[in-house]
Structure 1
Amino acid sequence: MSDDAANSVTLRFLAAPMDVGHSGSVDAGTVLEWVDKAAYAAAVGWAKAYCVTAYVGNIHFTDPVNSGDMVEVTSTIVYTGRSSMHIHTVVSSRDPKGGPETMHSQCMVIFVAVGPDGKPIPVPQFEPSTPAEIEQRDHALARIEVREQIVNAMNAQEYTDAGTAERVVLRFMASPTDVNWGGKVHGGIVMKWIDEAAYVCASRYCGMDTVAVFSGGVRFYRPLLIGHVVEVEARLVYTGAKGMHIAVHVRSGDPKTKVMNLTTYCLTVMVARDETGTAVPVPAWEPVSDEDKKLHAHARELLEIRGRAPGNRLPDHLQKHAGR
């Protein structure tokens, strides 16, 4: 943990052989689990109270993390609301024996401080004092509107059995080993489940091993409890030149009832890679049913919204479509 600033925490993880996934490198879900842990440490250190994950912003997985790599996750609070903390998180990795940095990704994570009753409580306000802190604060503020547009678009989209695209559902029990410091399922564990379901869905569709290159709009709606039945549904909604866009819903409920509540929702982009690690084209998915067409349009809308965010751009295939 870093003592450089009260609003910043750095955690380090040594990637172990058991962290390696189907692609031969560390799964994106494990990296997201590390991100959640570092951001949680920063949030709790600032709020001096128990905190829950509310949102994980867009993160691009540029290069693989390999077994034996030293992974460093630095989480810095850049903006606070009444009870929320916006945490800029940077992930990097390198061979601990020396050598260049092999992976560098960043994202915004939002935590909310809650009291014993589970309701939000106020947190100390962060006041930026350096040009760099002011720039990061302004960057966080600029993305709030874009994030709200993304969340509203995702909330408005309906998913039914009328879709014809590739779809998988994983079901299991939330076990005691998944617990966080508040007695609920750790947000990082949920993101790991999301990555696993997206992998199965994408690999079934293209017939190849796949890896996540992007995860965005991970919205946590309610806590997931130990002992509950968990259902992780992944569905293909769009294909670009190489990416497969997978919408993932996580639902959970008491096994003594038939009620399943939505706990988490996000969109993950998966790609197939050849033996050199280069992304390769995948078959284009053509929507068939009315729901297919709505989901296809929804995925394009999310791409366009994200393309308007500060520092972002539209994917090449959409730029060509727009005649740019």
Structure 2
Amino acid sequence: MSGQKSVTLRFLAAPMDANVRGYVGGGKILEWIDKAGYAAAAAWSGHYCVTGYVGNIHLHRVVNVGDMVEVEARVVYTGRTSLQVVCTVTSYNPRDEVRVTNTQCLLVFVAMDSDGKPTPVPPFEPEDDWEREENERAQILTAVRREVDDAMALQVYSDATETCRETLRFLAAPTDVNWGGKVHGGYVMHWIMTAGKLIAERYFHGHARATYAGGFRFYRPMYIGDLVEVDARLIYTDGAEMHVSVWVRSGDPRGTDLQTTTHCTIVYTALDEDDHEVTVRPWVPRLPEDRALERHAVDLIEIRSRLGRSEPHEH
């Protein structure tokens, strides 16, 4: 039924959701966010929706195995064929019910008709103070995304680099499929977070946790059986932070031309055994491309600083 503006998923975090460190990391949380966001977008529009963007993600707290998790998704803004949804993840131990907010982020979906073409969605009008503030913020974020996209378009990512870099390659499996028969956006984000964490921990030689993701951009769909290439590289360090840029490309494994499907830059924080921040050795680029990407990372920090709020907006 179209017109429903919010969806909440509730479940227990299971042992199979945990990463190698024993807690539920950012990749799995983003899977949950994408599913809840899709449910809200489909409920409002009455159509199948594809993920276009997931962004400004501050990962404040991890989720522990056995926690009760709530992922609330609320429509806050609509364009002609697009919807913007705010997702808030909270969790608590069922034995004490002290609730914490793990993260909050904005997702952009596009509604599709039966022929796979964008289709109009019902207009959304905010009805309370929280919805009005988020509606205004969604419009600000749209402008910032355009500025970031312009900055990204000027960058070159080639093999002319000396940085810490790793490429994962595998085939997209039938278990990765979403409701529309394509690879689920949440799984793609999980792959990106996995590759980014590999780079951060290789560079630091220790534990690193994702603390911020600037924006997952989805350019085209990925299909079951595609060859997937997840290319991650370090582009900037600052104190305990490591900024890792990750590109996902995919295509027919019988061919040679892989097309870009997704991109994101993620910030990882170096931690000691007691989860305290540790300063990493600075990455000092020498090659022109590496120096350009370092400047690009600094430019993105300045652009995003204008967004202001980093803490979740409760309602």
TM-score range (shorter-chain normalised) is over 0.9
Please state if 1:230 is matched with 2:223.
Answer: no
The runs of at least 4 consecutive aligned structure 1 residues that moved more than 4 Å come to none
Report how far residue 194 of structure 1 moved: 0.3
Aligned residue type for 2:306: R
Counterpart position of 2:273: 275
Unaligned runs of 5+ in 1: 314-324
Matched residue SS, 2:64: coil
Matched residue SS, 1:258: coil
Work out the CA distance in 1 between the residues paired with 2:55 and 2:88. 12
Work out the CA distance in 2 between the residues paired with 1:67 and 1:103. 16
Aligned counterpart in structure 1 of residue 296 of structure 2, from 295, 298, 306: 298
Aligned residue type for 2:160: A
Is contact 2:235–2:244 with CA below 8 Å preserved after alignment?
A: yes
Aligned residue type for 1:87: V
Fraction of identical pairs, as percent: 49
Work out the CA distance in 2 between the residues paired with 1:13 and 1:175. 25
Work out the CA distance in 2 between the residues paired with 1:82 and 1:270. 36
Matched residue SS, 1:280: coil
Please state if 1:46 is matched with 2:44.
Answer: yes
Counterpart position of 1:320: none
Counterpart position of 2:98: 100
How many residues align? The count is: 310
Matched residue SS, 1:271: strand
Report how far residue 272 of structure 1 moved: 2.0
Work out the CA distance in 1 between the residues paired with 2:152 and 2:20. 29
Work out the CA distance in 1 between the residues paired with 2:218 and 2:7. 23
Shift of the 312–214 alpha-carbon distance from structure 1 to 2, 3 Å rule, reads closer
Counterpart position of 2:20: 22
Work out the CA distance in 2 between the residues paired with 1:120 and 1:303. 32
Report how far residue 13 of structure 1 moved: 2.8
Is contact 1:306–1:312 with CA below 8 Å preserved after alignment?
A: no
Counterpart mapping for 1:233-252 below 5 A: 233-252=231-250
Report how far residue 163 of structure 1 moved: 1.3
Work out the CA distance in 1 between the residues paired with 2:112 and 2:289. 38
Please list the CA deviations of residues 276-301 of structure 1 after superposition, one character each: whole Å capped at 9, or x if unmatched. 22221111100110111000000000
Work out the CA distance in 2 between the residues paired with 1:272 and 1:19. 22
Matched residue SS, 1:181: coil
Aligned residue type for 2:232: A
TM-score relative to the length of structure 2: 0.95
Aligned residue type for 2:218: F
Is contact 2:63–2:102 with CA below 8 Å preserved after alignment?
A: no
Counterpart position of 2:190: 192
Report how far residue 305 of structure 1 moved: 0.2
Please state if 1:56 is matched with 2:43.
Answer: no
Work out the CA distance in 1 between the residues paired with 2:65 and 2:294. 36
Matched residue SS, 2:23: coil
Matched residue SS, 1:149: helix
